[in-house]
Amino acid sequence: MTTHTDTGTPTTYSARPVPPSALAQLRFADDAGRACVPYTAVEGGDPLRCCLRLSVPGESIALVSYAPLRRWAAETGAEPGAYDEQGPVFVHAAECGGPAPSEEYPFARAGALRTLRRYDSAGRIVGGRLLEIPEATGEGFDQAFAEAFADPAVALVHVRAVEYGCFHFEVRRP
């Protein structure tokens, strides 16, 4: 998936949702071992990590515990050790087809605070950055990802909300 900034300039940074194979498992039992408990979104606005958009009222969603670094490590053979963590994410309670093509980074609200955690190929944290999302949201993220991947040790970046610490999406080295 190629994303574009809000100015229409193509970029090589792709926001990755929770993968379908992980979603199938999370919809049965989450990464903390708890059963998935679907419910109906009343107000909407929950950031869905399966399709990288906000929920709408009436959708069947679930709040599950997700360990993104653990799942990436299982794919790559990395050993993140103590850096392995899990946290809450909203997902559709049933398959949703994933994200629609977009020209913007997901959940990019100007003024919101995000932390961008950088990990090396062994799954260890090698830095991070606080980002207050600017009005030009795409340019702000592009600059932060370019800064992260300027370090050859960085293999992937996790974007998290500062307020709750929730995982929003992952970007891998282009």
Predicted pLDDT at 164: 87
Q: What is the pLDDT along the chain (174 residues), one digit of tens a residue?
A: 334 444 444 456 999 999 999 999 999 999 999 999 999 999 999 999 999 999 999 999 999 999 999 999 999 999 998 999 999 999 999 999 999 998 899 999 999 999 999 999 999 999 999 999 999 999 999 999 999 999 999 999 999 999 888 999 999 998
The overall longest dimension of the chain from CA atoms, in Å, is 45
Predicted pLDDT at 165: 86
Predicted pLDDT at 144: 97
Give the closest residue to 157 by CA, choosing from 147, 142, 170: 170
